[in-house]
Amino acid sequence: MNATNVVITEVHGKVGLIRINRPEAMNALNNDVVDGISAAIDRFEADDNIGCMVLTGNEKAFAAGADIGFMKDFDYMHAYKIDFITRNWERLRTSRKPVIAAVAGFALGGGCEIAMACDMIFAADSAKFGQPEIKLGIIPGAGGTQRLPRAVGKAKAMDLCLTGRMMDAAEAERAGLVARVVPADQLLDEALKAASVIAGYSMPVTMMVKESVNRAFESSLTEGLLFERRVFHATFAVEDQKEGMAAFVEKRKPTFKNR
Ligand code: HXC
């Protein structure tokens, strides 16, 4: 275990766990937290033994948003000059290895946004999602107005962003924001279990899957299908494809070598 106080990292087999640890502030995201998450991703991406990551908080809060005290006296020029958000919040988006957000309790504002920047969200039945920025006189600034409508459609995204209300785990699952809802006491186990399944596959292939699914949000269907086809063709140049198919034919478990 490696603790940089507000962000704790652990290795569970082939899974890197990143835990936000500011319980006294509902895991509000200040620079230390966001820099800590980025550093943890750097470290796990560089580690060939890690195939998947899980980002989590505690039972009360995944993260209740950007730290309001930290931002409250910002002026425009300061926010612009420090490149607020862009400077260090984008690291999740650029991660090539898959990241599962395991969300219990509040995922609000920037907390909801970093959960959405992960590849999928597992929610505890206690989870509450929302973009309450409007109540503070600001708008979402880390992708809320862009990723939420892509996940749940315009109607619900407008509802959440304009009213600032929270959505519980059941509604979030119905709306398509979360991949799975599980009892709160099983959240981390379930997320680690799924991450471990993913980490057991060929790492370059999991990265290709992630890249291809993400392409669906960046391109027309024709372009996306072309991208997929080219990457699919490329998998026949991956040694692990030979191993995966040989293992099936020989009725044994494959041993992937990540090449
Ligand atoms: C700073 C926060 C915080 C936040 C909670 N705390 N959220 N501090 N920034 N975002 C602190 C509280 O001030 C309090 O500190 C402690 O955490 C416990 O919170 P309480 O409010 O006492 O708990 P509770 O009554 O259970 O309410 C929980 C809550 C509420 C519903 C999550 O704290 C809340 O509404 N928080 C703000 C949510 C929000 O507006 N998020 C969006 C932020 S803007 P003390 O010291 O009093 O004990 C944002 C912009 C994103 O994210 C743009 C891109 C980054």
pLDDT, tens digit, 9 for 90 and up, residues 10-22: 999 999 999 999 9
Contact between 37 and 142 under an 8 Å Cβ cutoff? The reply is no
- The separation between CA 158 and the C-alpha centre of its own chain, rounded to angstroms, equals 22
243 is a catalytic site residue: no
Dmax (CA) for the chain in angstroms is 65
| Catalytic residue (one of 16, 36, 110, 144) | 110
Q: Is the C-beta atom of 172 inside 6 A of ligand 1?
A: no
| Percent residues over pLDDT 70 in the chain | 98
Rounded to 5°, angle at Cα 8 from 167 and 15: 80
Tell me what pLDDT residue 4 has: 61
Average pLDDT (182-200) is 98
pLDDT tens digits, one per residue of 129-144: 999 999 999 999 999 9
Tell me what pLDDT residue 23 has: 97
Q: Is the C-beta atom of 134 inside 6 A of ligand 1?
A: no
pLDDT tens digits, one per residue of 63-121: 999 999 999 999 999 999 999 999 999 999 999 999 999 999 999 999 999 999 999 99
66 is a catalytic site residue: yes
pLDDT at 2 over 70: no
Which amino acid type is present at position 145? T
From residue 17, alpha-carbon distances to 71, 218, 234 in Å are 28, 28, 30
Count Cα atoms within 13 angstroms, Cβ side, for 176: 11
110 is a catalytic site residue: yes
pLDDT at 1 over 60: no
Contact between 122 and 189 under an 8 Å Cβ cutoff? The reply is no
Write the burial class of residue 20 (CB in 10 Å: 0-12 exposed, 13-18 middle, 19+ buried). Answer: buried
* Polymer length in residues for the chain: 259
221 pLDDT tier (thresholds 50, 70, 90): very high
Instruction: Kindly report the average pLDDT of the chain as a whole number.
Output: 97
pLDDT at 257 over 90: yes
**Mutation pick for ligand 1 pocket among 68, 91, 148 (CB with most ligand atoms within 8 Å):** 68
Instruction: Name the residue with the closest Cα to ligand 1, atom 45.
Output: 25
Structure tokens at 82: 């420090």
pLDDT at 3 over 80: no
Structure tokens at 44: 């796990």
Tell me what pLDDT residue 139 has: 98
